[in-house]
Amino acid sequence: MVEIKKDLLIIGAGPAGLGAALYSKRADLDFEIVDKQMPGGQIMNTEFIENYLGFGQRSGFELIEKFSDHCKGLGAEVKTFCPIALVELVKRGKENFFRCNIAESADHYMVRTIIVASGAYPKMLGLEGEQRLFGRGVSYCATCDGPLYRDKDVAVVGGGDTAVEEALFLAKFAKKVYIIHRRDKLRAVSILQERAFDLENVEIVWNSVLEKIVGEKKVDHILIKNVDDNKIKKIDIQGLFEYVGFGANSALVKGIVKLDANGFIITDKYMRTSCRGIYAAGDVRSTALRQVVTAVADGAVAATSIDKHLRGLI
């Protein structure tokens, strides 16, 4: 068993974690940044990002490569495939320490501060067939699986930025893309809505919810219900992409820090959580806007606050 002692552990190497790593390095903090897989988090599943100032249109992969290279160039390299399963609070006098257990390993970190930048996961609808047909028509990643649906019919569930953005991507390959939305207005930002309205092979099915995913070995069709008249309609599709929002990857600190009603971590303006020494940044945080730019900024604030905290300034 190895105990790795550090002043700071950054958990997650998406935009928030990498933003934190950059500022931690510049503050000369004794830290490590870990991720359960390769750096990137959710934006690795994004075909293009066009609202990160100064970068024009880039794929999620390209942007993360630039972020990682920047950190690496300063000497902050991500320890990959190092999943932190649980954080335990260890009181030593007045000081808090945190034991961060690595999943399926006896090795652990013992640190004075943590930045939880573990991001969020796509929510499921909880329908029969969702898990059974996952990878056989049901997908949560259009960027990964979109090309498999060339000249086929697919449906996207949801009306937010993610649903519409991914529908636009799928429309490049698929013969027809249905956007199934439970209301009569999309939540997505106007520019995305307009692009979707302009495409001939995108059809928005308003006021409708997914009732059933049908298929034995792969998705064959779906049944949707109109919420106004309860009428059921069958739509033949080969691919189903669900984008009905995200849940927080906050389980590792559940019980130690305060969460909001949806499980996102509550912080103050310094990114401090309710537990002294634990900070949160990015999509896992309870926040009004979840974007690459806000995640990077959260990471910068959290690292700067920790530097001040460790120096007794805040």
Q: Does 263 bind ligand NAP (CB under 6 A)?
A: no
Q: Which is the catalytic residue, given 30, 69, 107, 144? A: 144
Beta bridge partners of 179: 156, 204
> Among this protein's residues, is 275 annotated catalytic?
no
CA pseudo-torsion sign 188, 191, 195, 197 = positive
Q: Does 57 bind ligand NAP (CB under 6 A)?
A: no
Comparing CB distances to ligand NAP, the nearer of 38 and 209 is 209
Candidate residues 4, 27, 85, 125; the one interacting with ligand NAP per rule CB under 6 A: 125
Q: How many CA atoms lie less than 13 Å away from 267 in the CB half-sphere?
A: 27
Identify the sign of the CA torsion 266, 268, 272, 274.
negative
CB of 289 to ligand NAP, least distance (A): 6
Work out how close the CB of 164 gets to ligand NAP at its nearest, in angstroms, rounded to a whole number. Answer: 8
Question: How near is the Cβ of 47 to ligand NAP at its closest, in Å?
Answer: 11
Which residue do the tokens 């990160």 mark?
A: 52
141 catalytic residue (yes or no)? yes
Residues 174-213, mask of contacts with ligand NAP (x by CB under 6 A)? --------xx---x---------------------x----
Number of amino acids touching ligand NAP (CB under 6 A): 21
Q: Nearer to ligand NAP by C-beta: 83 or 247?
A: 247
CB of 210 to ligand NAP, least distance (A): 7
Among 96, 113, 118, 162, binds ligand NAP (CB under 6 A): 162
Q: What are the φ/ψ torsions at residue 235 (nearest 5 degrees)?
A: -125, 125
Tell whether residue 58 is a contact of ligand NAP (CB under 6 A).
no
Residue 181 CA to residue 157 CA, distance in Å, equals 6
CB of 67 to ligand NAP, least distance (A): 17
Give residue number: closest CB to ligand NAP: 160
Active site residue 161: no
Site string for ligand NAP, 207-246 (x = CB under 6 A): --x---------------------------------xxxx
Is the Cα dihedral 197, 203, 206, 211 positive or negative?
Answer: negative
Determine the length of the chain: 314
Taking the C-alpha atoms of residue 115 and residue 280, their distance in angstroms, rounded to an integer, is: 5
Beta strands 108-116 and 3-11 are parallel
Amino acid identity, position 93: G
Taking the C-alpha atoms of residue 1 and residue 13, their distance in angstroms, rounded to an integer, is 25
Question: For residues 245 and 263, which CB has a smaller minimum distance to ligand NAP in the complex?
Answer: 245
Contacts of 185 (CB under 8 A, 6+ apart): 159
45 belongs to the binding site for ligand NAP (CB under 6 A):
no
Contact pick of 291, 293, 297, 310 for ligand NAP (by CB under 6 A): 291
Buried-state track 174-210, b at ≥16 Cβ within 10 A, e below 16? bebbbbbbbeeebebeeebbebbeeeeebebbbebeb
Q: Is residue 306 within 8 Å of residue 6, measured between CB atoms?
A: no
Tell me the catalytic residues: 141, 144-145
Contact residues for ligand NAP, defined by CB under 6 A: 51, 125, 157-163, 165, 182-183, 187, 209, 243-246, 289-291
